[in-house]
Structure 1
């Protein structure tokens, strides 16, 4: 696709806008309608966690639910962890429902409320399956060494983070989506050829049945090593041109080429270890323990305090993580341009993604800095045009 041009008053051609005022207004309206629900959910979840962790309320909750199951230390650990997870999920539920209603009004939801509820229960079950063994292991360590428990716990957190990164596409993704191999044909061959030309080994090309939940478009490359595969939403395949699908996948291959998944896993593992170390420091602070109603780190009633500190650290580090993510996504965009040499289709692909996903193509800068994991559509398109302008023309390549 080439940019259309219109004459300026001085007679010089300039590109016409990539998005009409109506399209910009639609994306802006969705963002404004969703923002109260998104911010409300974050603030409510953090506030609940802080109240439970920094007051005796959390300690009382752990004691009460533990007593329902016999009052033993193990009962307090497991029942307390389950209660914290359940309360957190219940607090988020109305905000998730509100955001879903907004997205449904904009035509982005194809799933009914029953399916949404089933997905919420699946998410809860997965969270409990992870949280309960982690809590049990954590308090087994604190029981053995109330002062230095965080040393082995930090190593275990790093290993668990790395393992989950490897196992996620095999164990978690299939819980929410069905994946089928892409039918043999020109597009599958083009995607595999793109990966081969990029020097990236992939196990398969799969199609996710995203259309039973949403009309949004996406594709990604998931997994490490033997679990790596290209995954395309069926909505993307039914809506976008084959060349646009290739551009989306080329972007995702850029993450693999630059080892973004591996780097992210390593950084996540290091971050998990650092968080556990900071939790160890917090659990030794008498003022915090006194405020929370716990005696020491080995006391299961300290669990809400640890959860509160972890949540606060996550909230504070959020903007930094978003900034890193935007830089990584920008690099992947550049990789897609270099791999395909097709800025026109890249721009067409960005327009299609933005319009179909009803994105705010030019959001307020403060929101972008605080919450955006990807550059805005206008920034990505401008970067593609800048790349095209820097690329040598065919005549310049002739020697």
Structure 2
């Protein structure tokens, strides 16, 4: 039975991979609409022939990897269950420790290490791909260091969350999902609060903006928008990437406006001011708090669905999955599989909300700086630095794009320039 299910899963995944390969490399065409060819939104007007070729090649590979990596994760969880690996990890942990927290920690260490090792080749391929196309400038030791940090940080947080989760499942089999969600609320807000001052500095060096003349302009812009701010931060990213970025992070007193040094080095002051106005728009429009609310709502729905789906799957397929009871730690890969499935298929909704927020922030920025030329040129530079796909297929836009495609953003402000 196990062999049959394993072969069926591999066969289904293989068919899916072939379908995705044919779609991205031989099927879809994300060319520029005839009406926009030769305009400021057409990448051929601001990218070289070589950059256009590289952008097209890289976009196809990135999209293909995105759409196969998550189903591959599902396949891994499935095999960890049906081959009895999860049950074996639980047995090893129980033999070593009597305390529940230590057993949970050991089980999660085994599971996390196995997943890290199996997924490492794909992660390394992504790293080398970014290096080969000139996006990443990060040396291997630095990249590997970040992977190790990710492993231990995620393991530490997982021990806390999983220990509490399974305690709730055992204590309240019917309402565990509601209690788990209630604990998610303060935990998520706490992580948002400490991220800028505790987590982010582990990976990068942050400092107040060194260009004081530019900082004065940015703070003046913030004052004009009635946004209380004393500092703008820059982060040293040029050792890792050639891409450009700026963002707002954190909540309350720990909120920060952050500029990558690559952005400072590549863009003009006017372009930077537009980007800063965009980020101020997110702050003023309360997008961070809206995102927290959306995340918590979707988490509530997700936990409720898991509470319905997981017991049913164990009752029907428990012998195949080697799971006897949902409260047993060896059921965790099934919990993760269902969670990943729900997150993947809810991403079009969350991405649509995010794209709407980005459109509002763009509109706020242009009202504040009144410089559509800077908006157009900054978007062109962002595209150039990241070799981004300006007009992705609908499937890619739905599942991958948290921002509107550059074709739409550039064309919107280019039309404003023409109207003026």
For 2:273, the equivalent position in structure 1 comes to 246
- State the distance in 1 between where 2:252 and 2:234 align: 19
TM-score (norm 1): 0.87
The number of equivalent residue pairs is 377
* Equivalence map 1:89-104=2 (5 Å): 89-104=116-131
TM-score (norm 2): 0.83
For 1:344, the equivalent position in structure 2 comes to 373
- State the distance in 2 between where 1:369 and 1:283 align: 27
Pick aligned residue for 1:125 from 152, 162, 165: 152
- Confirm or deny: 8 A CA contact 1:28 1:363 kept in the other structure: no
* Equivalence map 1:36-51=2 (5 Å): 36-51=64-79
Find out whether 1:313 has 2:342 as its counterpart: yes
* Equivalence map 1:117-196=2 (5 Å): 117-183=144-210, 185-196=212-223
- Confirm or deny: 8 A CA contact 2:219 2:230 kept in the other structure: no
- State the distance in 2 between where 1:109 and 1:258 align: 33
Pick aligned residue for 2:316 from 274, 283, 287: 287
For 2:62, the equivalent position in structure 1 comes to 34
- Confirm or deny: 8 A CA contact 1:326 1:374 kept in the other structure: yes
For 2:362, the equivalent position in structure 1 comes to 333
Find out whether 1:60 has 2:87 as its counterpart: yes
- Confirm or deny: 8 A CA contact 1:147 1:284 kept in the other structure: no
- State the distance in 2 between where 1:145 and 1:290 align: 24
Pick aligned residue for 1:201 from 228, 236, 241: 228
For 2:243, the equivalent position in structure 1 comes to 216
Unaligned runs of 5+ in 2: 1-37
Moved more, 316-325 or 81-90: 81-90
Q: State the 1:20 CA deviation.
A: 4.5
Measured against aligned partners, the alpha-carbon deviations of 1:138-197 in whole angstroms (never above 9, x if no partner) come to 122223223332221121123222222222212211111110111252200111111221
- The 1:241/1:48 distance shift into structure 2, 3 A limit, reads same
- The 1:126/1:74 distance shift into structure 2, 3 A limit, reads closer
Unaligned runs of 5+ in 1: 1-13, 394-399
Moved more, 210-219 or 301-310: 301-310
* Equivalence map 1:17-32=2 (5 Å): 17=42, 18-20=45-47, 22=49, 23-32=51-60
- State the distance in 2 between where 1:203 and 1:267 align: 29
Corresponding residue SS for 1:210: coil
- Confirm or deny: 8 A CA contact 1:49 1:308 kept in the other structure: yes
Q: State the 1:230 CA deviation.
A: 1.2
- State the distance in 2 between where 1:42 and 1:283 align: 19
Find out whether 1:277 has 2:301 as its counterpart: no
Q: State the 1:301 CA deviation.
A: 2.1
Q: Alpha carbon RMSD of aligned pairs, Å? A: 2.3
Moved more, 129-138 or 56-65: 56-65
- State the distance in 1 between where 2:185 and 2:226 align: 29
Moved more, 75-84 or 249-258: 75-84
- State the distance in 1 between where 2:183 and 2:306 align: 14
